[in-house]
Structures are given as structure tokens and as C-alpha cells.
């Protein structure tokens, strides 16, 4: 039988290769996702690993909380000298690390898509974390070294002048050298290097160090040094071996990227699902084609088991081969994802592609397993019939009455279960969102289960418009599509999944944007806001002084922000307000509290956003403890609870308290109220003028602020779209494959039609119509499902101010794109059908 299997594989090379293609596609998607995430992870590890080159021990402040905008506490520089004098230490050097933005040739700060904009001080030998590839180390107050990637993008060479914003207003520096960190490309991240004295001056860190690198004498273990250094440190600082420090830094960055990796993982799951559909569909078609072959084998005396084993063996071979090619394809897919993201403005650091054993196991495992299931299920069904019964030519699967009922019941159960998960219980909005996502899965599955029934019902409706053209061709197409509803349904379902997700994300994001805009319009009563270009990076405190000089300002209220952890629940954002001025620029939406709460707001007290309060079970008067980035514990009493999902989203403290416990000199936003009757436009331009020394710091009107905050959702959207587009592309390749196979399966039928006088063009239209019916069904169901899921989820979050008002234009656009793409997918198979050789086709078995 094994010989038969191999012969059969070779004899039907085309069929086998199409099945294998489906496996390749599925496995490529899965491995592509995994390779991509692993590569980014490795890139960050390499980046941080390289910074500790030459060091045995690294001393830094404790960083308990993953955040990009946090400002770790600095060490006293005197520590460097004390460490240097310890036995076994050959060298110790202080480093300043902070952030600096580079101003491009167009006068605007470089966009880094949220990636780090590091400012580092140079290190003396033997510390070689910074690898100078051109020029020399920076010396003196006017010199800077920049990373090779930025230099290449901005066409900067040694000796050129470049404008950089540090904690000080923008200033020109001369490029003394070009540096690299490790073997990694930084992507859109930037690195600027100053000498130690300059860095201290720029950041006001005289007598301080952010990191101390320690090198050991020959033969002295890092452990020994750690034992000596640790007693010298106060609790907010920590000494680690170089390896441990690298790992800690990389983990911190990985945690920051959880949104990205989480999205990619979700995409991976979708990839597995769509890939599995494609494989399953393709294999069930090829097995259905061979029912006759099986019958002959059975008639010749093959046991049912033997036939099944033969299919199993064939599926294994195709699965393994397809998976191997798919792994290679996955490497390409990873490059593709990177390219797509960087063209969308998110140029992530990268290094050589990382292919882990886990990736190979998961990718190939899914490929082989799905192929096996997909091959054996239909074969088992086919061989169950008496041998000769299936020898007769037969119409393919129409659903039996019982099967219809089973499908309806299963689907109802899935929908019921899914909705129950979505609607039961309360909790924070993120918990409810999570439940909604989990509840959505059975609902999608229900549609897949109902698919064959829907196809039957929809095929008639959908083909109505096309039947007005060449009627008979259109009717044939409809009958072909309805001939095996299960197959058409699976073929369409990959498109359904893609469109459902795209639309859900679109509608949900739009609801979030709308409600964010509304919250900001309601709560920000100041006239103007000063913040960074991206709205998220903190701005130098010196910008406040520049602003206050402008005439006509009634109130200037700065807001600071830092990450922290609430002992009971987890990470929160802490905002610091000035209680004396805040009331003039910001209106609290009190859940429990009043204007008096704000008047009496003092250090030791906290105002808590209602979601945080709900998650941490906090009520007014309760005591709680906040843990700062450096591990400091701050006891607080809840003074009031308010609602704000847009700006002050966690815990709000007084500036006095904040400055005492957090090391964040910079401001997040500065809200400004003008004197009554002042000209807003004039004040805005005066402020912009005053802030001209700070490129990257902008003045925004209330409307602009709302748009800026609302658009934060967009950066996440771009990523999702890029990935979902890939899913849709895969789904379309699946449709091409299915159509090709179904043409192959019907070769003789098409030949007969052609012999009876169907023109080549009619044959082409026939197949195109079949593809169109499939994609219209897919697009319709996908759109309906996406809108429905968005409605369910948004409803469950209505207490958050989310309102279901889909951007219909975009919905229609997405539907149209899905439809168009589906039609395009049928072009190549249709061409193949038109070119069929009539005689050969009639003789085709």
C-alpha cells in the first residue's frame, strides 16, 4: 500500500502540489509570526547585551516597572570612586543615560514610532559597548556621536552639524563620530552620545550617574565583586552581573512590547485558524476527487484500514514536505512583516532572523497535524460506503436533514455560550474587553458551523445581480457554488475571519476615538495645551519657563506622569497635578468627590480613576500603597474617585508628593487658560514662538488635543491592519487554490460544456462568477459578523461612554476591498479554465 501511496503522489503531482501549497501557506503564516517576534526579541537582547561589553558588574537604579517614559533615579557619582578602590576592580565608569531627540533637516524632530531615543554618555576603555565605526569619541560641550542608522537616514557625516533637543532647548552639535550598538540594526530608534561632562550639564545631573559599569581584575569573579559592591548601595539601587543586567533590561523592553507581541500572537492564532481552513479545504477536495479511486481499491479487496493508512501516509508526506517549505516561507514572511511595519512607520530594531526549535515544532506540528486530520476525515467518510456504491458518478455532498439540525443546534449553543461569556459579570473595562474577545471566538465558530446552510441560502440572493448578464452561465455558477455548500463555506470562511477582525477593530477603535474626543472636550477646559509632538514623550521642564513669559495667560498648570505599581493590583500610571491651578484648566468628572475635594487635596492623598478604583476595590477613605519605579513604597489615602478614560487614567497625586517620591523632572502636558477675552490664535502663535527652541514641543488647541489623544489608537490599528491584510491575502490564495482544484476536479465537465458550444470566454466568466459568489458570501458574512461583534462588545462597555456608531463609509470600504480581492482571486483560475484543451478535458478521468 505504501508503494501505491507514493505512486499515487507522483501520478497526481499537480493535485499533490496544490495540497502542499495550502500547507506551505498555513505553515508560513505561523512561522512567519513566530520568527518575527523572536527576531525583535533577540535584537533587543543584543542591543542591551552589547551595552555591557567589557563590564563584569553593572550598578543602576532599581527599575521595577516596565515603562518607556519612566525616569530612573540617578546614583551619586561619588560611588564610582568608592567602587574603583575596591579590591579586584580594575576599572569603574559612570554613565549618564537619558533621552534626546534629533531634529531632522526639515526642522522637525525625527519620528521614532515610540521606539527609544537614547542619550548616553561615552565610556572610557575597557568598556566597549559603543563601537565607533567612524570618527572619534565626542569631546567637549559641542560634540556628539550618533548611531549609524540615524546617520545614514539623515545623511549625516562626521563633521556635520545636527540639532538636538535634550533637557535644554534645541542646540547644534558637531558630529564627531558614528557608533554602533552590537550587531543589531536599531530600526527607527536613535542614539546620541555625549562626553560625560556634557551629558551631566545637559541633563542637570552634576555629581550623578545613571549607570556604573565595573570591570574586574583578571581572575576575579563577578560574584566576588557583587559581594563587595552591594553593601555600598542604598535600597533603590541594585548591582547585577553584566549578564543579569542585560537580561533584566531586555525583559523590561519585552514587557513594554507586550502590546506588539500580544497583537502578533493573536495574529498567530488567526494564522493557524486560517491556515488550517485552507489546508483542510484543499485536502477534502482532493480526497473527494479520489472517492472512485478508493472504491476501486476497495473493490479489489483492500481493507478499509489499508485505504485509510494510505491516505494517512500521503497526508504525512504532503504535511511534512509542505511544512518544510512553509518554514522557509515563514522566514520570508517575517521579512515581509518587518517591511510592512517599517513602511507603516514602525521600523523595529532587527538582527539576523531567529529560527527557534519551538518555531519549527509549532509550525511543522500544526502543518502535519492539520493535514492529517483534513485528509483522514473525508477519507474515512468516503470508505465507509460499500465499495461499488461510490463507483457510480454522483453529485457531491448535499446536507442531510439530520446534519442540518445538528449544525443549527451546535451553532446556537456556541452563540449562546459566547454571548453568555460577553454579557455576564462586571469588572474593569479591560477585563470586560478580554471577556468579549474570548466570547467572540465561539460566535465566529458558530458562523463557520452554519456556513454550509448560509451558502445555500445566500448563493441564490448573491447571484441575482450577475444573472442579469449571461443567465445560463450565472446559473451554472450558482449551482456549482451550491453543489458542495460545505466546501464553498470553508473556502469563504477564511475571508470571513479576515474581514470580521478588520471590521471589528475598525469599529471598536472608532468608538474609542469618539469617546476619547468627547471626554477631552468635556474635561479639558483650558484653552491651549503644550505637549510633545507625539503627545506621549515628556517635555523638558525648561519649556514651562519659556511659556510663562507669554502675556495674556491666566493659568499655567503642568502635569507630570510616571509609571508605578499599586500594591494590590498592578501597574498604573501616576499623574501629578497642581491643586491650586488645575481647576482652571481641567474639570474632574467626580464619581465620589467634589470641588471641595480638590481644594483640600494634599500630599498623602490620592484621587483614583474609577476603573483603577474598581480593579483595586478602593473607596474614598481607604488606604493603599503605591510602589515607585525604584521600589519606594508610598502610603496614600483615597480622597476622591473620578472618571477619565483619556487623560488622567490611573492615580492622581499632588505635585509636591510626586516630586518627593518620583524622579521625573519632565512634564507630560502643560494646560493653559487665557485671560477672558484674549485672542486664542494670537496666544497660540506667541506660545509657539516662545517654544521655538524646543522642536518637538507643540501647542495644541482643545480640538487638536482631542484629535491627538484619540489618534493614539491609530498606531495600534496600523499594526493590526498590516497583519490582517496578510491574513486576507492568505485567505485569497486559499480561494485561488480551491477554485483551481475545483476546475481540475471538473475538467471533463468543462470539456463537455466547451464541446457543446460554450465559448472560452463563457468558461472564464463561469469560473469568475463562482469565485465572485464565494467572495460575496465571504464578504457579506464577514461584514455582518464584524459589525455584530463590535456591537456586542461596545454595548458591554457602554458604561465607559462607548457608543456604537460604526463609520459606515469605512465599513462599506472594507466590504468592497474584500469583495474586489475575492474577485481578483478568481482571475487566474478562470483563465486556466478558459484555456482548457477540449479533447484532453473530455478524456480526463
The residues that touch another protein, with contacts defined as CB under 8 A, are 392-396, 470-473, 476, 479-480, 482-483, 748-749, 752-762, 838-839, 842
Nearer of residues 395 and 426 to another protein, judged by Cβ: 395
Contacts by residues 630-637 (CB-CB < 8 Å, ≥ 24 positions apart)? 630/61, 630/62, 630/63, 630/64, 630/72, 630/73, 630/236, 630/237, 630/663, 631/62, 631/64, 631/235, 631/236, 632/236, 632/661, 633/567, 634/661, 635/604, 636/604, 636/605, 636/606, 637/604, 637/605, 637/606
**Residue number, 484 or 529, with CB nearest to another protein:** 484
CB of 475 to another protein, least distance (A): 8
When the beta carbons of 279 and 473 are compared against another protein, the nearer one is: 473
Are 95 and 209 in contact by the 8 Å Cβ rule? The answer is: yes
CA angle 207, 208, 212 (to 5 degrees): 125
Distance in angstroms (rounded) separating the CA atoms of residues 682 and 692: 15
Tell the smallest beta-carbon distance from residue 296 to another protein (Å): 16
Residue 545: how many CB atoms within 10 A of its CB?
Answer: 10
Rounded CA separation 521/708 (Å): 12
Q: Considering the complex, what minimum distance in angstroms separates the CB of residue 757 from another protein?
A: 2
Q: Which three cell numbers stand for residue 525?
A: 477646559
Q: At what angle do helices 702-710 and 712-745 cross, to 10 degrees?
A: 40
What's the CA dihedral at 341, 343, 349, 355 to 10 degrees? 50
C-alpha cell at 135: 570618527
Question: What is the distance between the alpha carbons of residues 325 and 777, in angstroms, rounded to a whole number?
Answer: 32
Q: Is 427 left (phi over 0), alpha (psi -120 to 50) or beta?
A: left
Nearer to another protein, 288 or 814 (CB): 288
Which of 403/749 has CB closer to another protein?
Answer: 749
C-beta closer to another protein: residue 752 or 824: 752
Task: For the CB of residue 765, give the shortest distance to another protein in the complex, in Å.
Answer: 11
- CB of residue 471 to another protein, shortest distance in Å: 7
Least distance to another protein, CB of residue 392, Å: 7
Q: Smallest gap, in angstroms, from Cβ of residue 491 to another protein?
A: 17
Write down the residue that cell numbers 520570508 correspond to. Answer: 332
Dihedral sign from CA coordinates of 146, 151, 156, 162: negative
3-state secondary structure of 640: strand
279 versus 743: smaller Cβ distance to another protein: 743
Instruction: Select 394 or 714, whichever has its Cβ closest to another protein.
Output: 394
The DSSP code sequence of 41-74 is HHHHHHHHHHHTTT-SEEEEE---S--SS--PPP
Q: Which CB sits closer to another protein, 164 or 834? A: 834
Q: How far is the CB of 467 from another protein (least distance, A)?
A: 12
Q: Residue 723: which region, alpha, beta or left (left: phi > 0; alpha: psi -120 to 50)? A: alpha
First to last CA, the chain: 22
Phi first, then psi, for residue 351 (nearest 5°) are: -145, -170
Q: Among candidates 822, 558, 800, 747, which has minimal Cα distance to 664?
A: 558
Q: H helices within 673-807, ranges in order?
A: 680-690, 702-710, 712-745, 747-755, 760-796
Burial 490-503 (b: 16+ CB within 10 A, else e): bbbbbbbbbbbbbb
CB of 380 to another protein, least distance (A): 22
- Least distance from another protein to the Cβ atom of residue 316, Å: 32
Cα gap 141→130, rounded to integer Å: 19
Q: How far is the CB of 386 from another protein (least distance, A)?
A: 16
In the complex, the smallest distance separating the C-beta of residue 416 from another protein, rounded to whole angstroms, is 35
Phi and psi, residue 332, nearest 5°? -65, -45
Nearest to another protein of 106, 393 (CB atom): 393
Taking the complex as a whole, how short is the minimal distance between the CB of residue 476 and another protein, in angstroms? Answer: 8
Nearer to another protein, 566 or 753 (CB): 753
210/226 Cα distance (integer angstroms): 18
Of residues 513 and 754, the one with the C-beta less far from another protein: 754
Q: How far is the CB of 823 from another protein (least distance, A)?
A: 23
603 and 577 Cβ atoms separated by less than 8 Å: no
Q: Which residues pair with 103 in a beta bridge?
A: 109, 163
In the complex with another protein, the residue whose CB is nearer, 217 or 837, is 837
Query: Which residue, 36 or 744, has its beta carbon nearer to another protein?
Result: 744
**Which whole-number Å values give the CA distances from 765 to 455, 466, 469, 506, 817, in the listed order?**
20, 10, 10, 34, 20
Amino acid at each position: 500500500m505504501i508503494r501505491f501511496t507514493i505512486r499515487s503522489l507522483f501520478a497526481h503531482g499537480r493535485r499533490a502540489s496544490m495540497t502542499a501549497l495550502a500547507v506551505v501557506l498555513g505553515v508560513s503564516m505561523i512561522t512567519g509570526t513566530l520568527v518575527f517576534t523572536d527576531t525583535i526579541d533577540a535584537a533587543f537582547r543584543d542591543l542591551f547585551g552589547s551595552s555591557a561589553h567589557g563590564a563584569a558588574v553593572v550598578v543602576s537604579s532599581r527599575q521595577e516597572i516596565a515603562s518607556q517614559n519612566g525616569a530612573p533615579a540617578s546614583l551619586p557619582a561619588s560611588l564610582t570612586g568608592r567602587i574603583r578602590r575596591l579590591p579586584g576592580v580594575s576599572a569603574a565608569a559612570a554613565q549618564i543615560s537619558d533621552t534626546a531627540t534629533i531634529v531632522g533637516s526639515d526642522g522637525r524632530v525625527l519620528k521614532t514610532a515610540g521606539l527609544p531615543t537614547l542619550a548616553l554618555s561615552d565610556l572610557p576603555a575597557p568598556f566597549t559597548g559603543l563601537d565607533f565605526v567612524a570618527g572619534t569619541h565626542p569631546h567637549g560641550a559641542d560634540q556628539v556621536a550618533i548611531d549609524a542608522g540615524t546617520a545614514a537616514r539623515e545623511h549625516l557625516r562626521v563633521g556635520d552639524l545636527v540639532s538636538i533637543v535634550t533637557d535644554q532647548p534645541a542646540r547644534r552639535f558637531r558630529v564627531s563620530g558614528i557608533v554602533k550598538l552590537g550587531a543589531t540594526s536599531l530600526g527607527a530608534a536613535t542614539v546620541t552620545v555625549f562626553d560625560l561632562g556634557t551629558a551631566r550639564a545637559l541633563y542637570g545631573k552634576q555629581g550623578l550617574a545613571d549607570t556604573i559599569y565595573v570591570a574586574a581584575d583578571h581572575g576575579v569573579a563577578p560574584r566576588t565583586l557583587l559581594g563587595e559592591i552591594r553593601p555600598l548601595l542604598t535600597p533603590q539601587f541594585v548591582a547585577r552581573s553584566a549578564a543579569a543586567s542585560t537580561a533584566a533590561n531586555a525583559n523590561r523592553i519585552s514587557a513594554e512590547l507586550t502590546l506588539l507581541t500580544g497583537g502578533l500572537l493573536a495574529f498567530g492564532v488567526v494564522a493557524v485558524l486560517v491556515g488550517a481552513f485552507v489546508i483542510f479545504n484543499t485536502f477534502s477536495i482532493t480526497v473527494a476527487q479520489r472517492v472512485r479511486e478508493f472504491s476501486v481499491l476497495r473493490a479489489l479487496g483492500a481493507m478499509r484500514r489499508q485505504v485509510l493508512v494510505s491516505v494517512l501516509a500521503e497526508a504525512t508526506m504532503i504535511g511534512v514536505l509542505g511544512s518544510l517549505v512553509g518554514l522557509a516561507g515563514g522566514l520570508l514572511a517575517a521579512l515581509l512583516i518587518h517591511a510592512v511595519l517599517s513602511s507603516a512607520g514602525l521600523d523595529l530594531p532587527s538582527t539576523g532572523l531567529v529560527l527557534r526549535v519551538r518555531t519549527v515544532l509549532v509550525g511543522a506540528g500544526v502543518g502535519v497535524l492539520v493535514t492529517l486530520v483534513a485528509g483522514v476525515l473525508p477519507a474515512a467518510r468516503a470508505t465507509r460506503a460499500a465499495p461499488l456504491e461510490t463507483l457510480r458518478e454522483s453529485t457531491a455532498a448535499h446536507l442531510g436533514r439530520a446534519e442540518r439540525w445538528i449544525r443549527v443546534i451546535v451553532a446556537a449553543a456556541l452563540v449562546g455560550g459566547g454571548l453568555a461569556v460577553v454579557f455576564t459579570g462586571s469588572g474593569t473595562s479591560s477585563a470586560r474587553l478580554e471577556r468579549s474577545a474570548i466570547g467572540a471566538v465561539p460566535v465566529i465558530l458558530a458562523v463557520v458551523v452554519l456556513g454550509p446552510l448560509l451558502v445555500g441560502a445566500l448563493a441564490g440572493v448573491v447571484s441575482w445581480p450577475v444573472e442579469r448578464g449571461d443567465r445560463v452561465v450565472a446559473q451554472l455558477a450558482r449551482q456549482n457554488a451550491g453543489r458542495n455548500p460545505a466546501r464553498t463555506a470553508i473556502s469563504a470562511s477564511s475571508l470571513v475571519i479576515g474581514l470580521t477582525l478588520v471590521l471589528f477593530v475598525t469599529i471598536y477603535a472608532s468608538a474609542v476615538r469618539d469617546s476619547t474626543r468627547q471626554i477631552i472636550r468635556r474635561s479639558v477646559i483650558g484653552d491651549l495645551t503644550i505637549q510633545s509632538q507625539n503627545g506621549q514623550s515628556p517635555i523638558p521642564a525648561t519649556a514651562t519657563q519659556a511659556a510663562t513669559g507669554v502675556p495674556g495667560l491666566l493659568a499655567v498648570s503642568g502635569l507630570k506622569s510616571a509609571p508605578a505599581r499599586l500594591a494590590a493590583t498592578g501597574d498604573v500610571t501616576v499623574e501629578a497635578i497642581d491643586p491650586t491651578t488645575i481647576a482652571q484648566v481641567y474639570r474632574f468628572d467626580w464619581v465620589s468627590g467634589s470641588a471641595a475635594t480638590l481644594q483640600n487635596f494634599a500630599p498623602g492623598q490620592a484621587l483614583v480613576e474609577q476603573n483603577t478604583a474598581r480593579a483595586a476595590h478602593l473607596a474614598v477613605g481607604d488606604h493603599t500603597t503605591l510602589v515607585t519605579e525604584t521600589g519606594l513604597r508610598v502610603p496614600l489615602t483615597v480622597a476622591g474617585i473620578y472618571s477619565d478614560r483619556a487623560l488622567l487614567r490611573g492615580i492622581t497625586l499632588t505635585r509636591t508628593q510626586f516630586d518627593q517620591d518620583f524622579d521625573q523632572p519632565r512634564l507630560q502636558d502643560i494646560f493653559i487658560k487665557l485671560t477672558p477675552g484674549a485672542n486664542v490664535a494670537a496666544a497660540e502663535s506667541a506660545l509657539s514662538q516662545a517654544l521655538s527652541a524646543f522642536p518637538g514641543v507643540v501647542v495644541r488647541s482643545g480640538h487638536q488635543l482631542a484629535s491627538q489623544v484619540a489618534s493614539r489608537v491609530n498606531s495600534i490599528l496600523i499594526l493590526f491592519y498590516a497583519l490582517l491584510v496578510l491574513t486576507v491575502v492568505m485567505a485569497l490564495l486559499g480561494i485561488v487554490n480551491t477554485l483551481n482544484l475545483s476546475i481540475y476536479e471538473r475538467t471533463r465537465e468543462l470539456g463537455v460544456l466547451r464541446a457543446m458550444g460554450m465559448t472560452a470566454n463563457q468558461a472564464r466568466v463561469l469560473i469568475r462568477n463562482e469565485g465572485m459568489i464565494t467572495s460575496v458570501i465571504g464578504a457579506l458574512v464577514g461584514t455582518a459578523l464584524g459589525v455584530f461583534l463590535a456591537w456586542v462588545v461596545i454595548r458591554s462597555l457602554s458604561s465607559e461612554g462607548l457608543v456604537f456608531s460604526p463609520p459606515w463609509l469605512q465599513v462599506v470600504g472594507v466590504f468592497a476591498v474584500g469583495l474586489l480581492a475575492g474577485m481578483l482571486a478568481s482571475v487566474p483560475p478562470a483563465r486556466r479554465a478558459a484555456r482548457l484543451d477540449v479533447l484532453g478535458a473530455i478524456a480526463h478521468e
